[in-house]
Amino acid sequence: MLDPAVRDEVPTDEEPRQRFILEETGFDEVPKKYRRFYRKWKGPGDVLAPNEVICPVCKVVIRSTRELRPGDRVYCMPCMSRLVVVRTEAGTLEAHVAY
């Protein structure tokens, strides 16, 4: 698999990513500047948006201003983990720890 950040060609067949406006969620475990990018997971009944993924290390929801797709890399500031977004067999997005 090629790293999306290193690819030379720009994929043209993909449709543009959805954009989201993030609001403050009251998450206070990171500096104020970054609080809108995280929220607490509310348990098994919590439904994730297309721009959200759960950190498997600390169970915090990581949010993005753009729609997440397989191969995207995200950073979890509370536990300092680098994650890669993958699609599960069930069709949902999941984050796997890169380091």
CATH assignment of the domain containing 59 = 2.20.28
What total of structural domains would you count in the chain?
A: 1
Please give the Cα distance from 39 to 60 (Å, whole number). 6
pLDDT (tens digit, 9 = 90+) per residue, 12-34?
A: 557 898 899 999 888 999 999 99
Beta-sheet pairing, 60-63 with 73-76: unpaired
What is the structure's pLDDT at 5?
53
Please give the Cα distance from 3 to 28 (Å, whole number). 33
pLDDT (tens digit, 9 = 90+) per residue, 62-85?
A: 999 999 999 999 999 999 999 999
Residue 81 forms part of a structural domain = yes
Global pTM? 0.81
- Token pair, residue 38, equals 């995280």
- Token pair, residue 7, equals 């690819």
Range of the domain at 64: 32-97
